[in-house]
């Protein structure tokens, strides 16, 4: 029986890779719903090729999409709108698998809806888990949703952990012989840029990642290392492990996607060419394996794998994220919200690159932490942090 897939964020980089994998396996998967925030032409192309039953866009774009559908004789796809539309497709009874690939906090409610509807949820949208943390993990347990990591590092860790690891008791301590997680990071485009030169880097330079082709927001996050900070928090929740047992390792070639160390001295690594089709296919088919267009790794080409410590003076984001995780409560949600505001401001050339962690640190210092015991508390902290971060952006604004 073919499985029905809902792709939240179908027009993005992860959405595109997901469709690439699905296209290779029409016997196994069909596309039930796709969602987009912009780029309607791209959405139309996707609808023509994959014939989804539903497309979700912002209500401001509904008329334009209906017009495009008419032009292209698409009469098989219904249009839903806004957050209610996203939630409706994420929890739709006909959907088996939800790819959570919206960028940022906008993905939280639909992702959580998919979890509560007991779907197989493929998690790319790390911000959703960073914000909601244990609320999302508990919902997954309670509703027996299979929450599978698509982020390449977490997918690698999942592959290197013992079977059933994520189902066992959540203590924050490593178990079943695991001693430590090694979370790898490419170091981004500015790994070898001096702190002095870092002030004046442009959005175009920041978005030019050496190994991966990704959306703008995550590209900037990779350049500040905030992406690794968010991933550290993501790993703590997914694998129920205290941040103390997660070491960030800079590995510029992005061939090893992360590692797990065991008490007997073993270190297991997952390797592959840097292409998101691999973790997407893994999460789609797990515990089975399906083919992808990704070439097998040629170790005679990649003869050198290097490792180094991260420089947290040059890249304070990593330190801020670790502190936020240690502090717990709504601190990770504050960190994430302030970062989203700061990254958007940098992309609009309102602030310098090095002001991004500054905005985040200011917002964290300015707000009181609170227990993250409900979604409402988290959303409130998110909104409050956005206001403070926006004020800070205005204060630091380039003339």
Q: Which residues are documented as binding site for 1-deoxy-D-xylulose 5-phosphate? A: 126, 152-153, 186, 209, 222, 227-228, 231
Among 91, 127, 151, 275, binds Mg ion (CB under 5 A): 151
CB of 183 to Mg ion, least distance (A): 9
d(CA 139, CA 390): 32
Q: Does residue 37 bind ligand NAD (CB under 6 A)?
A: yes
Q: Does residue 275 bind Mg ion (CB under 5 A)?
A: no
Which span (66-74, 151-159, 171-179, 364-372) binds Mg ion, by CB under 5 A?
151-159
Beta carbons of 213 and 13 less than 8 angstroms apart: yes
Q: Does residue 122 bind ligand NAD (CB under 6 A)?
A: no
3-class DSSP state of 250: strand
Q: Is 258 left (phi over 0), alpha (psi -120 to 50) or beta?
A: left
d(CA 294, CA 396): 43
Among 79, 96, 141, 212, binds ligand NAD (CB under 6 A): 212
The burial class, CB within 10 Å (0-12 / 13-18 / 19+), for 73 is exposed
Q: Does residue 6 bind ligand NAD (CB under 6 A)?
A: no
Site for ligand NAD in 55-84 (CB under 6 A): none
Phi, psi of 55 (to 5 degrees): -125, 135
Q: Does residue 124 bind ligand NAD (CB under 6 A)?
A: yes
Beta carbons of 361 and 367 less than 8 angstroms apart: no
Annotated binding site for NADPH: 11-14, 125, 127, 215
Q: Does residue 243 bind Mg ion (CB under 5 A)?
A: no
d(CA 256, CA 183): 10
Q: Does residue 234 bind ligand NAD (CB under 6 A)?
A: no
Q: 78 to each of 45, 96, 108, how far by Cα in Å?
A: 15, 19, 23
Q: Does residue 106 bind ligand NAD (CB under 6 A)?
A: yes
Q: Does residue 210 bind ligand NAD (CB under 6 A)?
A: no
Among 125, 155, 258, 336, binds ligand NAD (CB under 6 A): 125
Q: Does residue 234 bind Mg ion (CB under 5 A)?
A: no
Q: Does residue 272 bind ligand NAD (CB under 6 A)?
A: no
Q: Does residue 95 bind ligand NAD (CB under 6 A)?
A: no
Give the number of other CB atoms < 10 A from CB of residue 375: 16
Beta carbons of 144 and 115 less than 8 angstroms apart: no
230 or 359: whose CB is closer to ligand NAD? 230
Beta carbons of 69 and 77 less than 8 angstroms apart: yes
Q: Does residue 36 bind ligand NAD (CB under 6 A)?
A: yes
CA atoms within 13 A on the CB side of 132: 25
Q: Does residue 214 bind ligand NAD (CB under 6 A)?
A: yes
Q: 248 to each of 115, 180, 252, how far by Cα in Å?
A: 29, 11, 12
Q: Does residue 332 bind ligand NAD (CB under 6 A)?
A: no
Binding residues with Mg ion: total (CB under 5 A): 3
157 or 333: whose CB is closer to Mg ion? 157
Residues that bind ligand NAD (CB under 6 A): 9-15, 36-38, 101-103, 106, 124-127, 151, 212, 214-215, 217-218, 276
């Amino acid at each position: 029986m073919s499985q029905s897939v809902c792709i939240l964020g179908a027009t993005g980089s992860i959405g595109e890779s997901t469709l690439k994998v699905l296209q290779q396996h029409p016997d196994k998967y069909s596309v039930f719903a796709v969602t987009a925030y912009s780029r309607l032409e791209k959405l139309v192309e996707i609808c023509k090729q994959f014939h989804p039953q539903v497309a979700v866009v912002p209500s401001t774009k509904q008329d334009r999409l209906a017009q495009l559908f008419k032009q292209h004789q698409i009469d098989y796809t219904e249009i839903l709108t806004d957050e209610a539309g996203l939630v409706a497709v994420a929890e739709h009874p006909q959907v088996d698998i939800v790819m959570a690939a919206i960028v940022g906090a906008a993905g939280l409610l639909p992702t959580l809806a998919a979890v509560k509807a007991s779907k197989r949820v493929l998690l790319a949208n790390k911000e959703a888990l960073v914000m909601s943390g244990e609320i999302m993990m508990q919902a997954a347990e309670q509703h027996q949703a299979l929450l599978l990591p698509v982020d390449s590092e977490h997918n690698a860790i999942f592959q290197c952990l013992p079977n059933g690891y994520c189902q066992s008791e959540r203590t924050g301590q490593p178990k079943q012989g695991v001693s430590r997680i090694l979370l790898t990071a490419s170091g981004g485009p500015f790994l070898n840029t001096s702190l002095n030169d870092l002030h004046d880097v442009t959005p175009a330079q920041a978005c030019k990642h050496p190994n991966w082709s990704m959306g703008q927001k995550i590209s900037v996050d990779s350049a500040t290392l905030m992406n690794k900070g968010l991933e550290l928090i993501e790993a703590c929740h997914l694998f129920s492990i205290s941040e103390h047992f997660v070491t960030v390792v800079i590995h510029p070639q992005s061939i090893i996607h992360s590692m797990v160390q065991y008490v007997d001295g073993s270190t297991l690594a997952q390797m592959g060419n840097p292409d998101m089709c691999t973790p997407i296919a893994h999460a789609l088919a797990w515990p089975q394996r399906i083919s992808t267009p990704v070439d097998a790794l040629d170790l005679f080409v990649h003869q050198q794998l290097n490792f180094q410590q991260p420089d947290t003076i040059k890249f304070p984001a990593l330190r801020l994220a670790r502190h936020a995780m240690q502090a717990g409560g709504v601190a990770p949600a504050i960190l994430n919200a302030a970062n989203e505001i700061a990254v958007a401001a940098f992309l609009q050339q309102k602030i310098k690159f090095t002001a991004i962690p500054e905005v985040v640190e200011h917002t964290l210092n300015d707000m009181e932490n609170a227990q993250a015991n409900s979604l409402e508390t988290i959303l409130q902290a998110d909104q409050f942090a956005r206001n403070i971060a926006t004020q800070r952006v205005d204060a630091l604004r380039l003339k």
